[in-house]
Amino acid sequence: MTSGFTTALLISTYNWPQALKLVLDSILHQTILPDEILIADDGSDELTKQLIDSYRQKLTIPIKHFWHEHRGFRKTIIVNRAVAGTACDYIIEIDGDIILHKRFIEDHIHVAEPGYYIRGSRLSIQEKASSRALHSGVLSSVSPFSRGVSNRFNGLRIPFLSHFLIKKSSRSRNFRGCNCAFWRTDFIHVNGYNSEMHGWGHEDIELAARFINAGILQKKVKLLAVCYHIYHETLDKKHETTNFTIYTATLVQGIRRCTMGYSNNTEQFN
């Protein structure tokens, strides 16, 4: 690639092939493709595998599918495994319910900077509009001015103004794994996602806290790297309080590297 570094798009998913199809369709229309796609699958059934296999014929870049048995929400483990399965320099991470603006990858490559991880944002597609897209398998044109969307400002793409809204900071609590990017070496340095965090909630901000503790700052991006979030019901939050306690301890104690994480991914899958 002309950027001078290789890029992987990392997608986490679980048993929602209808949404993943819309995500993969949006990749087909990117102005710049990543060098490969990593799909971190937290135990989906055969339908997801069949969908992924069908897109291997549509895309000219490798699609790597990482899967483990479903035993509850174990996103941290399967994402670590996916990152271990690539040699790409730079990881752009989204969730399996995030549809990409056609310049999403191009924008992320443009804002990449050594010493920083990227914090992006998302426009939300409301329930009725999401339902129509999921049932038809096609997402009509979406913009900040469309009906059935919220967080409209997050859907604006205005490159010549974006520079004025970029913020570099040592914040971590506002980090969202649904639209972010980081250098693979930085991810390995802090030992990736903390796999002692089980269930939904705060695994992303805990990773960001360790980035910050290790001297890797946040670069918050607006008016670029636009994406659209498909509506879904709120996930089970029974582990949220426990996970937030882990995050707080990481922040207060200045922890740079988790005990169980990326380096343990091989033994976790034996």
Write out pLDDT tens, residues 201-257: 899 999 999 999 999 999 999 999 999 999 988 767 888 999 999 999 999 999 999
Q: Report if residue 25 sits inside a domain.
A: yes
Q: Is residue 134 part of a domain?
A: yes
Under the banding of pLDDT at 50, 70 and 90, the label for residue 2 is low
* CA–CA dist 191, 253 (Å, integer): 16
Give domain status of residue 1, yes or no: no
Please report whether residue 170 resides in a domain.
Answer: yes
- Domain tally for the chain? 1
CATH of the domain at 139: 3.90.550.10
Q: d(Cα 221, Cα 219) in Å, to the nearest integer?
A: 6
Q: Look at residue 13 and tell me if it is in a domain.
A: yes
* pTM, 2 dp: 0.95
Inside any domain, residue 19: yes
Residue 156 belongs to a domain: yes
Range of the domain at 195: 7-268
Compute the Cα dihedral for 199, 40, 139, 135 and give only its sign.
negative
Residue pLDDT, tens place only, 102-111? 999 999 999 9
Q: Does residue 52 form part of some domain?
A: yes
